[in-house]
Amino acid sequence: MEKSNISAEIISVGSELLLGHIINTNASYLSRKFSEIGVDHFYQSVVGDNSRRLSGALKNALERSDIVITTGGLGPTVDDITISAISKTISRPLVLDRAILKSIKIYFKKRHLKMLSYVSRQAYVPEGALAIKNPVGTAPGVIINYKGKTIVALPGPPHELIPIFENAVIPYFKKRYKLHSIIFTRNIRTTGLPESAINKKIRRFLMMAGAVTVGIYARPSEVDIKITVKAENKEKALSEIKKVENKILSLLGDIVYGFDDDTLEEVVGKLILKRKMKLSIAESCTGGLISNRITNISGSSKYFDRGIVTYSNESKIKGLGVDKRLIERYGAVSRPVAIAMVKGMLKKSGSDVALAVTGIAGPTGGTKKKPVGLVYIALCKGGTGYFFNKIERLKKSSLSPFLRCIERHFVGNRTDIKYQTSTAALDFLRKVLD
């Protein structure tokens, strides 16, 4: 079959998705894969475990899309209604696929489990369908040709859906459809400026129309700029993207920390590792969140020495050697205390670089002078170098390490402020190291 533009639609099945009990990661994954193989994607819908409503969604999808993919609802229980709904919608009876039934029996036998009779319903597929064995579960994938359209039914669990889609469905699409182009996206990741400020900087690019388009997408404490192009192949796509990307990068400067799937903690980790340093962190208001993000990266033990949560005043005094008089005079949330914390952390750990944070995460504890969201982030790098004095002017010293403390003000609930603080601390470290 040859067609210049093939369109696909996703119908996610499951009341748990509608109720918000689980996040629909399958739709996100499939959307990305459509772009990679040059399939247009215009519609998504979520339907609960209701056969009538699912049938209606299928009819609508088949009228406007070449490929309709359902996810979920292929299990053996009564609320798994996807295959029966497809069968009724296209008026094809369900028939037993003996190869699938055999694979299901083998699945239970290998695990020394008794196969209950109702599980065998998963081996029934619409007449004429191609059933795909599930390498890690019992529900097969199903591909159906129907009046020039393709219906694909995939299991809901991502660890079952992904191998079926990549190993069987994508090759099927490539064989059945002549795909003339790919849709490729380059993701520029930033932190430190709000969406409105970035919008102002790159506004003319956001207004572009044609083969290359630019979009801006806000995430917690970060903003992504996505450059998307439709081209014949990846090489041409990258060439077109690069022209726009370089111009955008020149406008954004050091708020850009990475690209595509980079995370801030991963970028910071690579910088520390490259410089053969060891990092230690003292946390108060973030409660260990910065250390958690650092250790989310595999191999972080090579550069992360330790993290200490000094939440109480007593722990700051005993654990980090903060002078009690500093806390009494300036308060635990203050520049002098943050500096004392980071100096104590550097001395205690013997690391090359240390971070310390103290702040008011709220919703209680704020005052007019020190409101909720006030945060101090201190960084200290051992050895001879430069330091910043109280008003952050650079001064040189042969005795002092590099020391700097910044003040930030965040808004939001307690979780928001903690996360914003962790991001700001990691970005502060990135800029110093880079």
Per-residue confidence (pLDDT) for residue 210, from 0 to 100:
81
In the structure, what pLDDT confidence band is assigned to residue 387 with cuts at 50, 70 and 90? very low
Percentage of the chain beyond pLDDT 90 is: 84
Residue after which a domain boundary falls, among 176, 211, 228: 176
Cβ within 8 Å of residue 125, ≥6 positions away: 83, 94, 95, 97, 100, 131, 140, 142
In the predicted structure, residue 1 carries a pLDDT above the cut 80: no
Can you tell me the distance from the alpha carbon of 222 to that of 46, in angstroms, rounded to the nearest whole number?
28
Per-residue confidence (pLDDT) for residue 13, from 0 to 100:
97
Residues 38 and 132 both lie in one domain: yes
Can you tell me the distance from the alpha carbon of 272 to that of 123, in angstroms, rounded to the nearest whole number?
53
- CA distances in angstroms from 278 to 25, 272, 288, 353, 382, listed in the order given: 36, 7, 17, 6, 11
| CATH at 16 | 3.40.980.10
Can you tell me the distance from the alpha carbon of 349 to that of 370, in angstroms, rounded to the nearest whole number?
30
- Per-residue pLDDT tens for 289-331? 999 999 999 999 999 999 999 999 999 999 999 999 999 999 9
Residues 319 and 220 both lie in one domain: no
In the structure, what pLDDT confidence band is assigned to residue 149 with cuts at 50, 70 and 90? very high
In the predicted structure, residue 37 carries a pLDDT above the cut 90: no
Per-residue confidence (pLDDT) for residue 150, from 0 to 100:
98
In the predicted structure, residue 388 carries a pLDDT above the cut 70: no
User: DSSP E strands: which ranges in 299-415?
Assistant: 304-309, 353-359, 374-381, 385-388, 394-397, 402-409
Can you tell me the distance from the alpha carbon of 86 to that of 242, in angstroms, rounded to the nearest whole number?
44
Residues 165 and 17 both lie in one domain: yes
Backbone angles phi, psi at 67, to 5 degrees: -125, 130
In the structure, what pLDDT confidence band is assigned to residue 148 with cuts at 50, 70 and 90? very high
In the predicted structure, residue 401 carries a pLDDT above the cut 90: no
In the predicted structure, residue 404 carries a pLDDT above the cut 70: yes
In the structure, what pLDDT confidence band is assigned to residue 393 with cuts at 50, 70 and 90? very low
Percentage of the chain beyond pLDDT 70 is: 94
As for how many domains the chain has, the answer is 3
- Per-residue pLDDT tens for 45-101? 999 999 999 999 999 999 999 999 999 999 998 889 999 999 999 999 999 999 999
| Residue 408 falls inside a structural domain | yes
Residues 154 and 195 both lie in one domain: no
Per-residue confidence (pLDDT) for residue 180, from 0 to 100:
67
- CA distances in angstroms from 104 to 112, 144, 154, listed in the order given: 13, 21, 16
Residues 414 and 275 both lie in one domain: yes
Residues 103 and 190 both lie in one domain: no
Residues 158 and 40 both lie in one domain: yes
Query: 291-305: buried (b, 16+ CB within 10 Å) or exposed (e) per residue?
Result: bebbeebeebeebbb
The whole domain housing 168 covers: 7-176
Residues 318 and 387 both lie in one domain: yes
In the predicted structure, residue 26 carries a pLDDT above the cut 90: yes
Residues 306 and 203 both lie in one domain: no
> Contact 347/322 with Cβ under 8 angstroms?
no
In the predicted structure, residue 386 carries a pLDDT above the cut 60: no
- Per-residue pLDDT tens for 211-265? 899 999 999 999 999 999 988 888 888 899 999 999 999 999 999 999 999 999 9
Residues 231 and 316 both lie in one domain: no
Residues 112-133 have a mean pLDDT of 94
Per-residue confidence (pLDDT) for residue 383, from 0 to 100:
55
| Residue 22 falls inside a structural domain | yes
| Residue 92 falls inside a structural domain | yes
Can you tell me the distance from the alpha carbon of 357 to that of 307, in angstroms, rounded to the nearest whole number?
12
Per-residue confidence (pLDDT) for residue 390, from 0 to 100:
38
Backbone angles phi, psi at 371, to 5 degrees: -75, 165
Residue after which a domain boundary falls, among 259, 292, 325: 259
The chain-wide mean pLDDT, for the chain, equals 92
| Residue 102 falls inside a structural domain | yes
Residues 254 and 269 both lie in one domain: no
In the predicted structure, residue 119 carries a pLDDT above the cut 80: yes
| CATH at 296 | 3.90.950.20
| Residue 189 falls inside a structural domain | yes
| Residue 1 falls inside a structural domain | no
Residue after which a domain boundary falls, among 227, 259, 291: 259
Can you tell me the distance from the alpha carbon of 147 to that of 408, in angstroms, rounded to the nearest whole number?
60
- Per-residue pLDDT tens for 176-186? 987 767 788 99
| CATH at 194 | 3.30.70.2860
| Residue 357 falls inside a structural domain | yes
In the structure, what pLDDT confidence band is assigned to residue 384 with cuts at 50, 70 and 90? very low
Residues 140 and 61 both lie in one domain: yes
Per-residue confidence (pLDDT) for residue 395, from 0 to 100:
45
| Residue 2 falls inside a structural domain | no
In the predicted structure, residue 385 carries a pLDDT above the cut 60: no
